[in-house]
Structure 1
Amino acid sequence: MKDNIKEFVKTKDFLVCVDSDGCAMDTMGVKHEEAFGPRAVDVWELHHIKDRFLKVWNDINLYTRTRGINRFKGVVATFEALEKEGIEMPDITSFKKWAETTNELSNPSLERAIAETNDEQLKKALEWSHAVNRTIEEELAGNDKPVEGAKEGLAAANNVADVAIVSSANGAAVLDEWTRHELNVHVDVMLGQEAGTKAYCIEQLKKFGYENTRVLMIGDAPGDLSAAEVNDVLYYPILVGKEKFSWDRFQNEALAKFLDGSFAGEYQEQLIKEFNDNLK
């Protein structure tokens, strides 16, 4: 498995892109509940509203149609939601502006912005992001496991298609998790948050010469669907709470439809409706 698109080589006519956290790896819940949310409480000193903050954080990042939102946009969305409830929150105006305008939502991008501006709000956000990564690496190591059925589904996909991880998660963490659980053997290239947005990554992969109807994004969040739609490619949902069913159906039904050209249209529409109905 390559970890740079420059090293990727197209070997098949079909391409399957797959998200990591919450889709192929059963890591999304524990990361938000034990790392992302609690470290935000610590860094922005929100202990006085800890319970409410964590409830809103988890709703936004796990259980509603913003599931899978980038970590930095998740901070902005959570702060805004709490402000609408009348809760006074720390000022993150300049951080919000960065999150809305940067073309790369990652630590390196944030570091470059800090080097240019020396902005304290950006420094606080980077402090939080590093704290999250440390918690994941030091405290949550070993708590990750593949989603049931994902390994078999990926193996089936890689038999007939090139497979690319397209994730907004930290690339080093994704690489570590997929390698330890031996999912990497079914993947050709890994593109994490450092490679750009999911939509951008799919766009770049398409340049290797895949037809739109021969590119499929597998994901569990609206951002995955959006990335597929803006690139005019197909989307297969891993349903929250029904992950094994979703992967089994992919392997036993959807993959064949993808290959024979019957995925687009009515079947695709049915899957998207089911996906949207499954989220709050």
Structure 2
Amino acid sequence: MTDKRTLILQVADKLFVEQGIKGTTIAQIADAAGIAKGSVYSYFKNKAEIVRALFIQSFERSQQEAEQLLNNSEIKGLALLEAFVVKQLCQVEEERAFQQAWMTDDSMVMENGLLQVVQDCRTDIYQVQLAILERALGQECTPWRYDLLTMINGQIQEFAMLILLDNMAYSHFNCAAFIARSARWTLIGLLEENRPPVLDESSFVLEAVPGGKDTQLKRLLTQMRSKCVSLDGEEQSLVSQTLDLIEQQMAAEPPNTTLLRALIANLRPYLELADERAKLAELLDVALI
């Protein structure tokens, strides 16, 4: 059975496509969903929040699919990168109507809250993308991983624009093969010439819009989940379970600070999460042990 929040998003997505975002009202969404107008406001303060929720939903789908690819040990080498690109383009194709509705609505394109969501999503997805890139091309790509990822994302974006702006149809598989091999050929050239990278650890910094405490906490947990996909199966499961318990305590009224402190301490062995672990303790106002 579809919960009410999901129903609202499904109906809003359909109406935004049919009528445009600007031409759709909260009252119309409520009527089409068969619920009271006040019920919509109990989940979303305004229409912009609904649009932001649809973007987050899309991002979470993309992130989940990317993590599933990383967890699939049967997909190796360039096939992993190709599978990632195919999933990205298929999602663009499936969500084309909503993306077109958003891109043609001036009030939404520069909406501050939506810009924050987009920036947050870019910050988070880059973590799992880097893991896919290094798994696909090998550790030898590490010095140029930020340059290569920037190139790959630029190519995906340009091919996506052909779908969104020109309604162009082409083989996603051929496109993915071209992008993956372009990355490999570029890496071969870089290795032969030993060219210095354009971007490195210090220069490649995506500053997410800070947002409120709840937003920062949610972003931290997302980043930690993205990073833990590189761990071994058992370690990944333990970290994931710990993060689930932390999230449960964050939602409790009041949260058990002693338990939160212990759960954050359980993450200490994982050096990959050291920075996020310290920030998590700071935001939750618990001692870092």
Give the greater-gyration-radius structure (CA).
2
TM-score by length of 1: 0.28
Report the structure, 1 or 2, having the larger strand content.
1
Structure-2-length-normalised TM-score: 0.28
